[in-house]
């Protein structure tokens, strides 16, 4: 019971293998009568093309590789979604690899994709992969960087302007009448964190009567956010900021929870902090949970799935013509206002 091949189809339809291939790949070149017989034969035999053979001949597969830092981060799942949608338009599929910030896994996926001769690779790199990507390119495998602006013009890249995002967030806080801003986040070694902070600095610098303090954290998690919240709660009320820009939504949610819990268990109502009355909070990423928080969170939204789509578009163009000039696409983030920063 071997799977039928193109030869079996040809025999059954009483045409040559070439004709079957033409029906499949250049339908206009075949007479209607022959086409019909071939299609009937395919149907009857349950014939399915063997991708391996096609790829072998074609020299590369019709898949593109996507290497992300964290498959559980909604930002990346959205990017992946956009990439898939765009790829399927051109008949490509997407293979996703998850590195978990581990350079070994990153190298592993690059090896795998190279063996598979994918048409191109989309990657949010961890370490310095330019040499590796250069080698892929020599092999005819295009590469586009995601969420990291490229080193000069060696590779195209698609990213978001995190500095502008930081500015957007803090401008909004200031516009709603806040003056004592705190940035809560870390580690600053993460480019995104650093740039969001720079944006915040720029915004504050433009308004002489405002101040910016920093609460450094060692991670972008809910728990770290709570720690920071406890720390702020411990201060005398007069000493607290009146607005917080959190480096991402998870931290913002942690802060929110810390403030709420203090209010709920409330030894005295003075220990609680009301959001947004006492302190406004804005996060970053606009994850699904942001709108579902106890107090719906204002946030900075990134056009995640558009990023994926754009990256695929560029990738396929470059896969088609390797000599195309490389492009650096930078998207602008967008302010989403919800209850956590409503003016009093």
Q: Residues in the site for DNA, rule: CB under 7 A?
A: 2-3, 5-7, 14-22, 24-25, 29-31, 33-34, 47, 49-50, 53-54, 56-59
Q: What is the DSSP letter of 285?
A: B
Smallest gap from Cβ 293 to a second copy, in A, equals 7
Q: Which is nearer to a second copy, 86 or 203 (CB)?
A: 86
Name which of 174, 244, 247, 248 is nearest 205 in CA terms.
Answer: 174
Smallest gap from residue 8 Cβ to DNA (A) = 8
**Residue 22 binds: one of DNA, a second copy, none (C-beta under 5 to 8 A by kind):** DNA
Toward a second copy, which CB reaches closer, 40 or 292?
A: 292
Give the residue with the Cβ less far from DNA, 52 or 270. Answer: 52
* CB 27, min distance to DNA, A: 10
For 311, other C-beta atoms within 10 Å of its C-beta total: 29
Q: 285: closest CA among 32, 65, 23, 75?
A: 75
Minimum separation from the CB atom of position 50 to DNA (A): 4
Q: Could you give the C-alpha distances from 282 to 96, 164, 253, 274, 299, in angstroms and in order?
A: 31, 15, 10, 14, 5
Specify the residue, 34 or 107, whose C-beta has the smaller distance to a second copy. Answer: 107
Smallest separation, CB 33 to DNA (Å): 6
Helix (H) or strand (E) holding 197: helix 191-205
Specify the 3-state DSSP secondary structure of 117: coil
Residue 330 has a CB neighbour count (10 Å cut-off) of 12
**Residue 139, contacted partner among DNA, a second copy, none, CB below 5-8 A by kind:** a second copy
Give the one entry of a second copy, DNA, none that residue 222 binds, where binding means its C-beta sits below a cut-off of 5 to 8 angstroms depending on kind: a second copy
Using CB distances below 5 to 8 A depending on partner kind, what does residue 95 bind out of a second copy, DNA, none? a second copy
Q: Distance (Å, rounded) from C-alpha 195 to C-alpha 105? A: 27
- 120-123 and 142-146: which strand pairing? parallel
Binding residues for a second copy (CB under 8 A): 1, 3, 46, 48-53, 55-56, 61, 71-72, 74, 77, 80-81, 84, 93, 95-96, 98, 111-112, 114-117, 135, 138-140, 221-223, 226, 253-254, 257, 260-261, 263-264, 274, 289, 292-295
Q: How far is CA 302 from CA 82, 101, 145, 156, 299, in A?
A: 13, 21, 16, 19, 10
CB of 324 to DNA, least distance (A): 22
Dist CA 103 CA 121 (whole Å): 16
- Choose the one of a second copy, DNA, none that binds residue 24, judging by a C-beta under 5 to 8 angstroms depending on kind: DNA
Give the closest residue to 335 by CA, choosing from 196, 165, 173.
Answer: 165
| 3-class DSSP assignment, residue 92 | coil
What is the pairing mode between strands 334-336 and 299-301? antiparallel
Closest contact distance (angstroms) between CB of 38 and DNA is: 9
Nearest residue (CB) to DNA, 48 versus 270: 48
């Amino acid at each position: 019971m071997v799977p039928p091949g193109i030869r079996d189809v040809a025999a059954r339809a009483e045409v040559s293998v070439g004709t079957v291939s033409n029906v499949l790949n250049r339908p206009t070149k075949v007479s209607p009568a022959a086409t019909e017989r071939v299609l009937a034969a395919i149907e009857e035999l349950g014939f399915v093309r063997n991708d391996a053979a096609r790829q072998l001949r074609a020299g590369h597969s019709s898949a593109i590789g996507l290497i992300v830092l964290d498959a559980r981060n909604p930002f990346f799942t959205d990017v992946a979604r956009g990439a898939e949608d765009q790829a399927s338009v051109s008949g490509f599929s997407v293979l996703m690899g998850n590195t978990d910030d581990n350079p070994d896994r990153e190298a592993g996926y690059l090896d795998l994709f190279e063996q598979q001769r994918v048409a191109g690779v989309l990657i949010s790199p961890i370490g310095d992969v330019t040499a590796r990507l250069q080698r892929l390119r020599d092999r005819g495998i295009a590469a586009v960087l995601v969420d990291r602006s490229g080193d000069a013009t060696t590779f195209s890249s698609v990213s978001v302007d995190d500095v502008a995002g930081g500015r957007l967030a803090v401008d909004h806080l200031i516009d709603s009448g806040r003056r004592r801003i705190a940035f809560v986040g870390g580690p600053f070694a993460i480019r995104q964190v650093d740039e969001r902070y720079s944006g915040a600095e720029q915004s504050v610098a433009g308004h002489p009567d405002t101040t910016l303090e920093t609460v450094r954290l060692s991670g972008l998690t809910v728990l770290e956010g709570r720690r920071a919240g406890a720390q702020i709660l411990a201060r005398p009320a007069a000493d607290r900021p009146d607005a917080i820009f959190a480096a991402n939504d998870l931290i913002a949610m942690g802060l929110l929870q810390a403030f709420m819990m203090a209010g709920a268990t409330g030894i005295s109502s003075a220990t609680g902090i009301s959001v947004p009355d006492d302190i406004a909070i804005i996060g970053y990423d606009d994850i699904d949970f942001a709108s579902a928080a106890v107090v719906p969170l204002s946030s900075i939204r990134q056009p995640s799935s558009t990023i994926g789509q754009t990256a695929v578009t560029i990738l396929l163009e470059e896969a088609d013509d390797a000599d195309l000039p490389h492009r650096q696409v930078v998207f602008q983030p967008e302010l989403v206002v919800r209850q956590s920063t409503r003016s009093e």
